[in-house]
Amino acid sequence: MLRWLWLALAVWGAVHPMYWFATYLSASGWSLSALIDAWYVNASTTGLVWDLTIAAITLTIWIVAETVRRKHWRGLLAIPAIYCIGVSCGLPLYLFLRSRPS
C-alpha cells in the first residue's frame, strides 16, 4: 500500500510543478533564461533554489550509495527525474523503486 503512495506522490511531484513551470513559460514566451532569472529574483527564491539544489545533491549521493550497497540498479532511474523534473518527483520515485518486492 505504501509503495503505491510513493508512486502517486512521484506522479503528483512531476505534474503539479510542471503545470506552474509551463504556465510561467507560456506567459514569458517559452524563455528558459527568463525562468532561470526568476529563480533569483529575490533572497527568498534564491534561498529556495539553494535549498532544492542541496536536497537534490544529497538525494543523489544517497541513491548512489544505496544502489551500490543493495545492487538494486533500477533505483538509479530516479536521478534523471531529480534533475529533469525535480526533487518532488525524484524522491518519491526512488522510494517507490526501492520498496519493490524482491
- What lies within 8 Å, CB to CB, of 32 at 6+ separation is 25
Question: Which residue in 79, 99, 102, 92 sits closest to 7, CA to CA?
Answer: 92
pLDDT at 9: 98
Question: Which residue in 69, 36, 66 sits closest to 79, CA to CA?
Answer: 66
Ordered per-residue pLDDT tens for the chain, 102 residues? 999 999 999 999 999 999 999 999 999 999 999 999 999 999 999 999 999 999 999 999 999 999 999 999 999 999 999 999 999 999 999 999 999 886
